[in-house]
Structure 1
Amino acid sequence: MLQEASVRDYKFTTQQFNLVRERLYSSAGIALADHKQDMVYNRLIRRLRCLNLNSFEAYFEYLQDNESEQTFFINALTTNLTSFFREKHHFDFIRDQIVPERLHGHDRKLRFWSAGCSMGEEAYSLAMTLCNAGISPASWDLKILATDIDSAVLQTARQGIYDLNRSNISRSDLQKWFLKGRGKQEGLIRIKSTLQELISFRQLNLMDEWPIKSSFDAIFCRNVMIYFDAPTQKILLDRMAKMLKPGGYLFVGHSEALVRQQQMFELIGRTIYRKVGS
């Protein structure tokens, strides 16, 4: 429960929390649970302080009158927990299953989508996995689309600069794919341009139209569906199924299961699904 307003810098009522929930759901399709009231308060007061506003009422008025604030509003409320090679079994599957399948074929075109890419670690992990497994950009038409609703995390993703101590990158991958910072940049690592060139980072609200022409061999949509209610999940999964090539793969998060989408996807591994039919 939210603490008493007397110990808070700003009054934040249940009614105001519900206004936030309604706006976030209508604009981004994200459904906030009842117990998220503290989280919403702690994240939005940063915007109030940044804008020198003294109440949530004033912030709601500002949000209504300034369309550009909508981006900051959504950015503040979306979670950005991510890391390199998170849920390693997904990348093992790509290395051991998808890459050998494609190496034995004749088609040298590969398309992947990281939906909800956050700060880019997932997309870069995917690129490293493919290249390390024998998909050479010199002889393959390899492209990775990485999208997120949060413009701030996309800026970090495009820069490709990370804290070495938090990167969890193997020594061989560090030597092959990263540059180490020196002097004032010591302790930081930067993705090499050869890897960055494979990835296109774009802002995308999954509830909007998708200006995407490609069909994908695989889509990573991990720890994204948990923020949507069941009807919205079905809409998004229907759309993603149409974006996948026949037999394409969908990777979801460890706490997500496509129980209601068995007609579109078959479970073939731990949180790994394959598109059914054409």
Structure 2
Amino acid sequence: MKHLILVYSLHGSTLKTAEKIAQGIREGGSSVDIFKITSGELPSLKPYDVILFGMPVYYFAVPIVMEKFIATLPRLHEKRVYAFFTYGTYHFQASDHLRRILRKKDAEVEGWFYSRGADFYYHYNTRGILPSAGHPDERELSDATEFGRNIAKRTNLADYPMKSTPPKVMYRAEMLLTNKFMVTTIFQHLFHLDRKKCIRCGLCVKSCPTQNIERDANRYPMWDSKCTMCLKCEGCCPVEAITSVAGWKFLSPIVDANVKAILKDKNIDTQRIVYHHGKMQDNVKK
């Protein structure tokens, strides 16, 4: 059996998980390739018997970049399909979201895997926390390898490894505000650049996973229409010259409420940090 892992990873946690799953597949006696979906032209899917989709949970859902990528794929009705997620706080119904997306390609997911991954969401970090710091840890990576072995052995993995917790009211509000329609039609056009602060270093251009940022004639960044609201550009700016809609004051109560909930949740390994000018400094454990 030949396996292909299609992975989207922004900060490395999901890719690390993918590599461990691939290790398990090889240990189970099968071949496997890993393809990062933002790295170029996708190879033909015809030689592959099994397709795995791996991604982080964004705003409690499938990342827009992965949803758009899947839309470009041919029908998958002749493939066995598996999926895995990394998440920093809560995954809620991300798996149900992915299931709906894949059914449009005539695919049913046969098995799922979840692992925590450090949450580098900019507006959590600037409030002094790094949820799921140090994840995926050794146990989670070992579980990922076992997941890969079971796929190679065709073990029944149809059951969810954990229940999907229904979101509270504040999370429902955030999910509504960050849905695909809001991001693609409104939010991606509302980035503000403070030209008095901007030093035109180009870090935001280099950091964008969808190549959505270009430079104008004066070498200032400008945003196109492929934004996924990952906010990596805002987070990496060394002079804090970029502001997204997520930084608007009317959304602050939602983010503040999330931070309080995260700090109270004993299931989340949250680290206290100092985040300044695009970098984390002086990490202090919770």
Q: Which has the higher helix share?
A: 1
Could you say which structure has the larger radius of gyration?
Answer: 1
TM > 0.5 between the two?
no
